[in-house]
Amino acid sequence: MINVIKFAYQPGEHEAEKASNSYLMSLIAIIAGLPLPIINLIATIIFYLGNRKGTFFVRWHCTQALLSQLSIFFINSFGFWWTVSIIFTDEIITSKYIAYLITALIFNLIEFITTIYTAIQIRKGIHVSWWFYGHLTNLICKSGS
Amino acid sequence: MKKILIQGVITIALFFATWFLLIQIDWVAIFKIQKVTDETEEKIGELFWDMTQSTENENNSPLVKNTMDSLVTKICLENKIERKLIKIHVLDKDEINAFALPNGHLIIYSGLISNSDNQEELCGVISHEIAHIRLNHVIKKLVSEIGLSVLISITTGNGNSEAIKAALKMLSSTAFDRSLEKEADIKAVDYLIKAKINPEPFANFLFKLSDKENEEAKYLTWISTHPDSKERANYIIEYSRNKKVKFEAIIANSTWSKIKEKLKE
């Protein structure tokens, strides 16, 4: 799931702190965002926009954090609106709904733990690339741009 | 690029596989959701009925009670509905109205019986209300109109009597969604046919009341809360057209006449 690989260069102390913060931002957003899924995304987008002119290491990790937030956003949004429809419309609580909530919870938990681990590693200047998201970030984030 | 695609697909597949596996477990039974819902409905139903009973006059004449019981029993029996789930009450009121409360309480105003030309018309309205009960429309409407939190606070004793009164008024004098009304009408026709009751008088009853609408609107609560009576009458006739059954009367015509006499007193 998570690969510790060598980055193109050794990031400095200040860079590592900033890059690590991008994960902390999504972490705080996860806690606040569970009931309102849009908060995660907004917090991470703001951080991403604020650092898009940062160094390659910072940009790379902001992008990885943003991408992972994006998929969690879809999962949580669907669960959120399903819950709203149960409360306000004819929709009733079914096993399918509860199973979805549990699945969403599992994926949120995985994301949560991975994010904490990554934030700690990045703070130490160790480059961590996630399964799927790491490769996707490589595609989007180029060192020269 | 190919690697990213494969990993992406695997991630999505993993999500749906987890969901699919978890669906196999009967969570509703594990969390006893149905039981909680049933208990809540039972409590609300009793609270609503107690409130109605304390503010309105219930008609306790054995003739009226027994006749209504015969009609409901026949409809329930032929449609495999547990009889004790439907609790019928007749209230002495001139308005033409009938409505369902949670937990199977079915309220009929004496004005509805007096204004029905025959037992089939009344059975049509009763079947329509039973359909609302059986299709769980009552709780659905309460939840969507006053919200789950208010409902739960009512059952836990925190709801004041004003909240109960407002909810009661809403149930007795506002319509369900158009789609729910149609669903109840169609179900009512099924109930009537199975109980060998002609559904045509039910449609005629709607026609008749829609014509009366302007003259005595204030007594026509049931029709004013059930809009588009003509349209409803048309689809009831259309739906029941091809169902050929030999119809039978549930109660003797003399009993029906006696009831109408009794209610005139």
Per residue in B181-195, pLDDT (tens digit) is: 888 888 999 999 999
Query: Is residue B111 located within the same domain as residue B166?
Result: yes
| Chain A residue numbers touching B11 (CB-CB < 8 A) | 71, 131-132
Whether A99 has a pLDDT exceeding 80, the answer reads yes
Query: Is residue B113 located within the same domain as residue B182?
Result: yes
Determine the distance in angstroms separating the CA of A91 from the nearest CA of chain B, rounded to an integer: 9
Query: Is residue B11 located within the same domain as residue B137?
Result: no
Question: What's chain B's average pLDDT?
Answer: 84
Task: Please indicate if any CB of chain A lies within 8 Å of the CB of B5.
Answer: no
Query: Is residue B132 located within the same domain as residue B66?
Result: yes
Q: Is residue A68 part of a domain?
A: yes
Q: Which residue of A has its CA nearest to B10?
A: A132
Task: Enumerate residues 6+ apart whose C-beta is below 8 A from A51.
Answer: A18, A22, A58, A59, A62
To probe the interface with A, which of B5, B25, B28, B32 has the most A CB atoms within 10 Å? B28
Query: Is residue B79 located within the same domain as residue B157?
Result: yes
- Give, rounded to a whole angstrom, the gap between the first and last alpha carbons of chain A: 28
Full residue range of the structural domain in which residue A81 is found: 2-140
Q: How far apart are CA B163 and CA B155, in angstroms?
A: 11
Highest mean pLDDT: which of A4-18, B164-178, B249-263?
B249-263
Query: Is residue B83 located within the same domain as residue B135?
Result: yes
Query: Is residue B42 located within the same domain as residue B143?
Result: yes
Q: Is residue A25 part of a domain?
A: yes
pLDDT tens digits for range B117-164: 899 999 999 999 999 998 888 887 887 777 766 777 777 766 567 777
A145 band by pLDDT with thresholds 50, 70 and 90: very low
Q: Which residue of B has its CA nearest to A92?
A: B140
Instruction: Print the SS3 string covering chain A.
Output: CEEECCCCCCCCHHHHHHHHHHHHHHHHHHHHHCCCCHHHHHHHHHHHHHCCCCCHHHHHHHHHHHHHHHHHHHHHHHHHHHHHHHHHCCCCCCHHHHHHHHHHHHHHHHHHHHHHHHHHHHHCCCCEEECCHHHHHHHHCCCCC
Q: Looking at residue B241, what DSSP letter applies?
A: T
- The answer to whether A98 contacts B27, with C-beta atoms less than 8 Å apart, is yes
Q: How far apart are CA A22 and CA A48, in angstroms?
A: 8
Q: What values do phi and psi take at B4, rounded to 5?
A: -65, -45
Query: Is residue B128 located within the same domain as residue B4?
Result: no
Q: How far apart are CA B45 and CA A122, in angstroms?
A: 59
Task: Please indicate if any CB of chain B lies within 8 Å of the CB of A89.
Answer: yes
Q: Is residue A145 part of a domain?
A: no
Whether B227 has a pLDDT exceeding 80, the answer reads no
**Domains identified in chain A, total number:** 1
Q: Among B11, B18, B26, select the one facing A106 at the smallest CB separation.
A: B18
Query: Is residue B103 located within the same domain as residue B226?
Result: yes
What is the average pLDDT across A88-111? 87
pLDDT recorded at residue B105: 93
pLDDT tens digits for range B233-247: 888 888 888 777 788
Q: Which residue of A has its CA nearest to B22?
A: A99
Q: How high is the ipTM of this complex?
A: 0.85
Q: How far apart are CA B1 and CA B9, in angstroms?
A: 12
What is the average pLDDT across A99-125? 89
- The answer to whether B144 contacts A90, with C-beta atoms less than 8 Å apart, is yes
Whether B174 has a pLDDT exceeding 90, the answer reads no
Task: Please indicate if any CB of chain B lies within 8 Å of the CB of A1.
Answer: no
Task: Enumerate residues 6+ apart whose C-beta is below 8 A from B222.
Answer: B95, B96, B97, B98, B99, B112, B125, B209
Task: Please indicate if any CB of chain B lies within 8 Å of the CB of A93.
Answer: yes
Q: Looking at residue B256, what DSSP letter applies?
A: H
Which of B80, B59, B51 has its CA nearest to residue B264?
Answer: B59
Task: Please indicate if any CB of chain A lies within 8 Å of the CB of B4.
Answer: yes
A70 band by pLDDT with thresholds 50, 70 and 90: confident
- The answer to whether A103 contacts B22, with C-beta atoms less than 8 Å apart, is yes
Task: Enumerate residues 6+ apart whose C-beta is below 8 A from B243.
Answer: B189, B193
Question: What's chain A's average pLDDT?
Answer: 82
pLDDT recorded at residue A12: 77
Query: Is residue B198 located within the same domain as residue B101?
Result: yes
To probe the interface with A, which of B2, B19, B26, B38 has the most A CB atoms within 10 Å? B19
Beta bridge partners of B91: B58, B109
Query: Is residue B119 located within the same domain as residue B205?
Result: yes
pTM for the structure as a whole:
0.61
Task: Please indicate if any CB of chain B lies within 8 Å of the CB of A98.
Answer: yes
| Chain B residue numbers touching A99 (CB-CB < 8 A) | 19, 22-23, 25, 27
Q: How far apart are CA B130 and CA B86, in angstroms?
A: 8
Burial of B42 (0-12, 13-18, 19+ CB in 10 A): middle
Query: Is residue B127 located within the same domain as residue B1?
Result: no
For B158-197, b where at least 16 C-beta lie within 10 A, e where not — what string? ebeeeebeebbeebbeeebeeebbbbbbbbbbbbbbbbeb
Full residue range of the structural domain in which residue B153 is found: 33-264
pLDDT recorded at residue A22: 82
**Domains identified in chain B, total number:** 2
Whether B219 has a pLDDT exceeding 70, the answer reads no
| Chain A residue numbers touching B135 (CB-CB < 8 A) | none
* Single-letter residue type at B167: A
State the count of interchain CB pairs (< 8 A) between A and B.
52
- The answer to whether B27 contacts A136, with C-beta atoms less than 8 Å apart, is no
What is the average pLDDT across B30-52? 80
To probe the interface with B, which of A89, A130, A135, A137 has the most B CB atoms within 10 Å? A135
